[in-house]
Amino acid sequence: MTFPDEKYQDIGTFSDAYFEQVSKAAASVDRGKLVQAADLIEQTYREEKTLFVCGNGGSAAISGTFVCDHSKLVQTDTNLTARVVSLADNMSMITAIANDLSYDDIFLYQLQTLANFGDVLLTISASGDSENVVKAATWARENKMEVIAFTGFEGGRTADLATVHLHVQADNYGVIEDVHQSLMHLLAQFIRLKQMSAGLIANRKF
């Protein structure tokens, strides 16, 4: 069975059930893998390499927010330069690739154009099986790039391609995307506060 599997008579009752699912999904994320992801992203920033992020639909929106929170937040009060590029944000490029080549290549083509040695790819896909995300992750691994994958459901093909797989155990797109957004925030805030003194942390908003 999946959530929801019944009709709810009012939004209050549904919200209680929904947030219970979000809590369970968040608890399912492997904390050891989260440490690995944080270390890899921090190393990428410290070495002034680029973190590329991609996803479709709601995941595309998260990848765009990833740029904002990491590029701005991580650099505030720290000595890190966070170079983050969302492959889902350049609509002129995306529509040109989709129209002239294939929608399946919208992330791959940009990655081939922009990526350098030492850069990292982070994919966001609830199914883990979106063809354009899989093609980008496959190319990244073939070219010795580390890959961090945010997934849900069964993990899909990106689960096997990832260097670090952050899996959300849930079967509802909204729940999965809510936790993916939280992982994005967690990574940004923890990497930032790790560089700061305790006294400074207490005087800043996160």
Domains, the chain, with CATH or none: 31-195 (3.40.50.10490)
Q: What is the pLDDT of residue 157?
A: 98
Torsion of Cα atoms, 61 then 63 then 66 then 72, to 10° = -80
The helix, strand and coil proportions of the chain, stated in percent and rounded to the nearest 5, come to 55, 10, 30
Q: What is the pLDDT of residue 191?
A: 97
pTM as predicted? 0.95
Q: What is the pLDDT of residue 1?
A: 73
pLDDT in tens, 24-57: 999 999 999 999 999 999 999 999 999 999 999 9
Report residues of the chain scoring pLDDT below 50.
Answer: none
Which residues are CB-neighbours of 87 under 8 A, at least 6 positions away? 52, 53, 54, 63, 106, 107, 110, 111, 136
Within 10 angstroms of residue 36's Cβ, the number of other Cβ atoms is 17
Q: What is the pLDDT of residue 205?
A: 86
Q: What is the C-alpha separation between 83 and 103, in angstroms, rounded?
A: 26
Return the structure tokens found at 176: 């999965």
pLDDT in tens, 134-160: 999 999 999 999 999 999 999 999 999
